Amino acid sequence: MTGLPAARVDSSPLGMRIALQSRVRVISRCVIPRNLFPWTHESNQMVSRPRALPCNVAGFMRWQTLWEGRWILVVLIAAMAATWLVAPWLAAVPFGLLLFTLYFFRDPARKIPDGPGLVVSPADGRVTDITEIEETEWVNRRMRRIGIFLSVFDVHVNRAPADCRVVYTAEYAGTYLDARSPLASTHNTARTWGLECRPGLILVVRQITGAIARRIVPWAELDERLARGQHFGMIRFGSRTEICLPLDAEVVVQVGQHVKGGSTVIARLAEP
């Protein structure tokens, strides 16, 4: 459990070709240091929901999400200023992109449901698959996986599915296939989180990049305690999020259903 996770291997011809193009390797187990952006983290204690930050912008954006898009915003503002000087009507293009970027990095407040054993969605998006798998990356047991596709119009902040402690995190390099592809789950760049709800009860959440979303931003650290619905990271621009549950958990969502991170109950854990 403490060693490096095994690389994910696909022996099919397409899988081998993709593996040759992009060798799967562990990038790091590290996340953003606390002292780099001190306002993005809290102490290792269970906190009240939702997670508070110094300021919200217009009630739907936190400084933390705005910070992740800072360079995009700077470029668009500069482009808007430059085009305004040359041809004011052309400034409408970067201005429209600026508005969309602000919309993409939104982080609306969510009402977190309360109750024993509830598991909330770790992301906004559409449920694409619910299947039983052999989770071989870390826990090495059969689990039930729920896959969620995030379009560019969904909120891309990831939230803790339950009160838990981060006991594992690792990021893998890979390809950038369309997040809707069946191969995206095993071949795309991804970060996996092991979340311990109680001794012996582990949830696995995986952030997976897509053809457009190519950066995973972690906000939590190993051994950090997260409350249900608390932010722990985001994926920029269209992606996939997976959660693996124990087989005895009761899944209460269906394929095709649209879920909201932190507020939609997707499963109920069995009583200890």
Residue-level pLDDT at 18 = 42
User: Which pLDDT band, with edges at 50, 70 and 90, does 71 fall under?
Assistant: confident
Exposure of 269 in the CB half-sphere (CA atoms within 13 A): 21
Residue 64, pLDDT score:
59
Is residue 225 pLDDT above 60, yes or no? Answer: yes
* Tens of pLDDT, residues 163-218: 999 999 999 999 999 888 888 888 999 999 999 999 999 999 999 998 876 789 89
| Res 9: pLDDT | 45
Helix (H) or strand (E) holding 84: helix 70-86
Check: CB of residue 238 under 8 Å from CB of residue 212. Answer: yes
Edge-first strand listing for the sheet containing 216-218: 157-159, 231-235, 216-218
pLDDT of residue 254: 98
pLDDT digits (tens, 9 = 90+) for 128-166: 999 999 999 889 999 999 999 998 889 889 999 999 999
Distances 2 to 141, 202, 264 between C-alpha atoms, Å? 16, 15, 33
- Are 251 and 267 spatial neighbours (Cβ–Cβ below 8 Å)? yes
Cα torsion angle, 66, 235, 20, 177, sign: negative
- The rounded mean pLDDT for the chain is 79
Residue 170, pLDDT score:
95
Q: How far apart are CA 46 and CA 52, in angstroms?
A: 13
Task: Please list, residue by residue across 127-165, b when 16 or more beta carbons sit within 10 angstroms of its beta carbon and e when fewer do.
Answer: bbebeeeebebbbeeebbbbbbbbbeebbbbbbbbbbbb
Question: Of 73-82, 128-137, 226-235, which gets the smallest average pLDDT?
Answer: 73-82
Would you call 150 helix, strand, or coil by DSSP?
A: strand
Please, which pLDDT band fits residue 104 given cuts at 50, 70 and 90? confident
Place of tokens 């958990």: 249
User: What pLDDT, on the 0 to 100 scale, is given for residue 36?
Assistant: 33
pLDDT at 237: 72
Summarize the confidence of residues 237-256 as an average pLDDT: 94
Q: For residue 175, report the phi and psi dihedrals to the nearest 5 degrees.
A: -90, -175
Per-residue pLDDT of 160-170, as tens digits, reads 999 999 999 99
3-state secondary structure of 172: strand
Catalytic residues: 239
The pLDDT value recorded for residue 121 is: 98
pTM: 0.73
Q: What is the pLDDT of residue 67?
A: 62
Cβ atoms of 192 and 170 within 8 Å: the answer is yes
State the burial class of residue 209 (Cβ atoms within 10 Å of its Cβ: 0-12, 13-18, 19+). buried
Using the predicted structure, report yes or no on whether residue 120 has a pLDDT greater than 60: yes
